[in-house]
Amino acid sequence: MTPSLMTRCRWILPLFLLMSFAVGCGDARMGVDRSAGAKIGGDSGTELAERQVLRRGNGAEPQSLDPHKSEGVPESNLQRDLYEGLTIEGPDGDVMPGAARSWDISDDGLVYIFHMRENARWSNGDPVTAHDFEYGLRRSVDPSTLSNYSIMLRPILNAEAIIAGELPPESLGVRAIDDLTLEIRLSGPTPYFLGVLNHSASYPVHRPTVEKYGDRWARPGRLVSNGAFRLRDWVMQSHIVLERNEYYWDNENTALDEVWYYPIENQSTELQRYRAHAIDMTSDLPFRQLAWIRSNLPEELVISEYLGIYYYGLNVTRAPFKDNPELRRALNLAIDREILTSQVTTAGEIPAYGFVPGTANYTQHVPEWAGWTQEQRVAEARRLYEAAGYSHEQPLRLQILYNTHENHRTIAVAISSMWKDTLGIDTELINEEWKVYLETRRTKQNTQVYRAGWIGDYNDAYNFLEIMHSESGLNDSGWRSERYDELLALAAQERDMARRAAYMNEAEQILLEDMPVIPVYFYVTKRLVKPWVGGYRSNIMDQIYSKDLHILKH
Amino acid sequence: MLRYSLTRFLGAIPTLLILITVAFFMIRAAPGGPFDAEKQLPPEIEANLRAAYHLDEPLVQQFGRYVWNLARGDFGPSFQYKDYSVTELIAAGFPVSLRLGGSAMLLALLVGVFAGTMAALRQNSRTDHAVMAVSMTGISIPNFVMAPLLILFFAVYLGWLPAGGIGDGGLRYMILPVISLALPQIAYISRLTRGSMIEVLRSNFVRTARAQGLPERTVILHHALKPALLPVVSYLGPATAAVITGSVVIEQIFGVPGLGRYFVQGALNRDYTLVMGVVVFYGALIILFNLFVDLVYAWLDPKVKYA
């Protein structure tokens, strides 16, 4: 062969690589050490950056920006910035006036009168009136809207019948008395009702826009919203850009001009984007890299309580758990939650000895065994296990069902080894893809133990106790207790907060004694937040409004 | 040639129909449905949703409806992304995947053919061993390992390139995903080229050409390269179709808004229409590219004639 061809072409590959790097070097903004040297927040520590742009990692791509058609966490984060309910949540998680300036509640707790703000405006300048809320709430429960979370509005008079198609949407207990006064009638006193009003199912929508564009109104250039921000751009699977709504009634207190939301499902990917300074806040963290984060980015790591429970359900419609509360209690006692949360999950999750996380207006029921040492628990577990007819020679064989996920697998391995060590139970782990797992759980034909979890929709104990109501769509254990259902019904109708809490406490006690579910831990939120994001405050519902945040000079 | 293309085109219709039928009934056979969630919907709401999407009709009737709408170019609404139709999702995702995948294939073709030829020309030399070792590594290191490593090095440590996203759609955002997509393809193409080039170089017409005293460059570029590329060309058809419809791994890792992740997300969410949409689209592309490859074949290989 001729050497000329070789010599001529030999430099092509290195040149190509060099070129690709050179293109990359062109932009100095990408430099990693942008924060080095510059003091965050200037000399005073509170100086604002010139560009008020926040970039948030947001988990999955939102299903919809129509507040009546979505339910997930990523959607709620966006909609909280776009829309404003009658109430909003303050930075610490307390209910505050939103589109309504104030309200009056009748003595029986059944009638709410909301006084609207005179200066509230939609993002196109139209005034926000009581009629908008009347339209929005009716639309939300109207079966033809195809909302799958309208059940949130069940406390409102006639809502349940409208959702079921038995009454027309106009019969909903919501009425605009005039432009600035809205009346809402409830079917029973609901102490958490003001909290329901900042859920997306109760957000208002702009009637002319919805009527003009039908199903396709929630898009850039069309969507009109009444929150602190409005929609500027939406590139599916890439980003959603919100910009300041200058008509917002509290616009002067909004610091951010733009909020960029990035759908990044993979948590390791999100971490890398954060480390490369492409986002300012993550939505979650990869559980396997927590140790690295703790030692390398300790000041940016934010961990706080989250209103949710991770639990194991036991199928009580079949052997071995049918009519066998001793065995159910034995399995519960044999789990060492301290070890599980400190050595396995490690983010600071709270060991759960009851079923209800720390919610407002409620004191959790603390069972007796919560105060025991793990040795005492194990001894009692062995006694119950043997009483149920099992022993080391004749061990119980169990299957744990979980949906495919690294965390669930690790936890199932840990729990099954605790059961093996203390009681000698032989466990088989079964993982199924999400939708298959849901169906298996629901049919109750093959499941014995299944992994489950629930994040509260509103800050109230009822939200959690309701899971185990015999008619609940979440009760896949098949457990039913008449007394339990009765106590929940009493709690739903009770106006006196102390008595209501007592009913719920008794219900929780029944649940923990009969043990159709084994509480494992209460969730925490874990995320990284850049030091220049000001105004960030954790709260139990993890509702972070972008309007409360600002960017410090850096 | 024109007649051949037309026949092939018509022949593709039954293939597509079979594909649609199999895919339609397979996704419906999977347990669970689009409206299943951890909190079961109240029965009346679920019934209402099913009726709105015609899921309450007999399966065969739904199939008929689907094919009829498809024939009119309507892929239906997405169950998951309620503000968009499947047609809109594909129309938004495909250009991104096409741009990314197209660049990756072009890069892979240039580098792969070049490296493979070099290796073949210097068989058993250091160049050869180096190219083959690198390509073996390229084949054996999966995308989901290589891509995060590239990000860690070039975006996190060096800060030269973005860690993901498409930003303003600029070149900077394309480099890492294109390289990640191209690496395994480079590896395959260089190995294919090398193998077939070695064979061609041993054939009589190359020996004759050399014996006539033609310069080596002419021998390689004008005589040997064309036949040596035949296996590469037949590989390119399906490979290009696969790469330009997007890779779920690359899209997830780099946050690229392409078509690839709709395959996986659609299937996981039981978003029937979305899965069907991407499957039909992908199937049609494969058929199209295979046809194209056959036509290129006729041009490259004098032994092949379509009448």
Task: Please give the structure tokens belonging to residue B210.
Answer: 């050399």
Q: Is B198 on the interface with A (CB under 8 A)?
A: no
Q: Which residue of B has its CA nearest to A22?
A: B160
Contact list, B256 vs chain A (CB under 8 Å): 237-238
Q: Which residue of B has its CA nearest to A165?
A: B44
- Do B165 and A13 lie within an 8 Å CB cutoff? no
Of A63, A163, A439, the CB nearest to B44: A163
- Give yes or no for residue A53 having a pLDDT over 70: yes
- How far apart are the C-alpha atoms of A207 and B259, rounded to whole Å? 34
Which of B86, B139, B101 has its CA nearest to residue B241? B101
- What is the DSSP secondary-structure string of A303-320? EEEEEEEEEEEE-TTSTT
Backbone angles phi, psi at A106, to 5 degrees: -65, 160
Is A388 domain-assigned? Answer: yes
Residue A399: the pLDDT is: 95
Q: Which residue of A has its CA nearest to B178?
A: A20
- In whole numbers, what is the pLDDT of chain A averaged over residues? 89
Q: How confident is the model at residue A547 (pLDDT cuts 50, 70, 90)?
A: very high
Residues A378 and A326 in one domain: yes
Residues A452 and A328 in one domain: yes
Q: Is B162 on the interface with A (CB under 8 A)?
A: yes
Contact list, A517 vs chain B (CB under 8 Å): none
Rounded alpha-carbon distances, angstroms, from residue A487 to A134, A466, A468, A501: 33, 11, 12, 10
Q: Which residue of B has its CA nearest to A223?
A: B83
In the predicted model, what is the mean pLDDT of residues A442-465?
91
- In whole numbers, what is the pLDDT of chain B averaged over residues? 88
Residues A209 and A245 in one domain: no
Do residues A1 and B127 make contact, with C-beta atoms less than 8 angstroms apart? no
Is B35 domain-assigned? Answer: no
Q: Is B91 on the interface with A (CB under 8 A)?
A: no
Is B34 domain-assigned? Answer: no
In the predicted model, what is the mean pLDDT of residues A274-281?
93
Residues A334 and A411 in one domain: yes
Q: What is the ipTM of this complex?
A: 0.87
- Give yes or no for residue A527 having a pLDDT over 90: yes
Q: How confident is the model at residue A405 (pLDDT cuts 50, 70, 90)?
A: confident
Residues A417 and A360 in one domain: yes
Per-residue pLDDT tens over the stretch A465-502: 999 999 888 899 999 999 999 999 999 888 888 999 99
Residue B62: the pLDDT is: 94
Contact list, A408 vs chain B (CB under 8 Å): none
Residue B132: the pLDDT is: 87
CATH of the domain at A491: 3.10.105.10
Is B30 domain-assigned? Answer: no
Q: How many structural domains does chain B have?
A: 1
The alpha-carbon gap from A474 to the nearest alpha carbon of chain B, in Å, equals 5
Of B44, B155, B261, the CB nearest to A276: B155
Is B131 domain-assigned? Answer: yes
Higher pLDDT, A148 or A299: A299
Q: Could you list the residue range(s) of the whole structural domain that residue B149 is in? A: 86-263
Residues A293 and A382 in one domain: no
Is B182 domain-assigned? Answer: yes
Q: What residues contact A52, with CB distance under 8 A and at least 6 apart? A: A255, A256, A257, A258, A550, A551
- Give yes or no for residue A63 having a pLDDT over 80: yes
Residues A358 and A501 in one domain: yes
Q: Which residue of B has its CA nearest to A34?
A: B159
- How far apart are the C-alpha atoms of B78 and A297, rounded to whole Å? 40
Q: Could you list the residue range(s) of the whole structural domain that residue A283 is in? A: 39-54+227-300+529-535+543-551
The alpha-carbon gap from B257 to the nearest alpha carbon of chain A, in Å, equals 5
Residues A173 and A240 in one domain: no
Q: How many structural domains does chain A have?
A: 3
- Do A64 and B165 lie within an 8 Å CB cutoff? no
Residue A20: the pLDDT is: 41
Of B163, B179, B215, the CB nearest to A278: B163
Is A34 domain-assigned? Answer: no
Residues A104 and A150 in one domain: yes
CATH of the domain at B248: 1.10.3720.10
Taken in order A363, A365, A368, A370, the sign of the CA dihedral is negative
Contact list, A20 vs chain B (CB under 8 Å): 175, 179
Residue A38: the pLDDT is: 65
Q: How confident is the model at residue B242 (pLDDT cuts 50, 70, 90)?
A: confident
Of B30, B44, B157, the CB nearest to A164: B44
Per-residue pLDDT tens over the stretch B176-233: 999 999 988 999 999 999 999 999 988 888 888 888 888 888 888 888 888 888 889 8
Is A286 domain-assigned? Answer: yes
CA atoms within 13 A on the CB side of A306: 22
- How far apart are the C-alpha atoms of A530 and B295, rounded to whole Å? 56
Task: Please give the structure tokens belonging to residue A40.
Answer: 């965050």
Higher pLDDT, B202 or A361: B202
- Give yes or no for residue A175 having a pLDDT over 70: yes
Residues A269 and A384 in one domain: no
The alpha-carbon gap from A146 to the nearest alpha carbon of chain B, in Å, equals 6
Q: Is B145 on the interface with A (CB under 8 A)?
A: no
- Do A13 and B111 lie within an 8 Å CB cutoff? yes
Residues A404 and A272 in one domain: no
The alpha-carbon gap from B31 to the nearest alpha carbon of chain A, in Å, equals 5
- Do A24 and B175 lie within an 8 Å CB cutoff? yes
- How far apart are the C-alpha atoms of A347 and A341, rounded to whole Å? 8
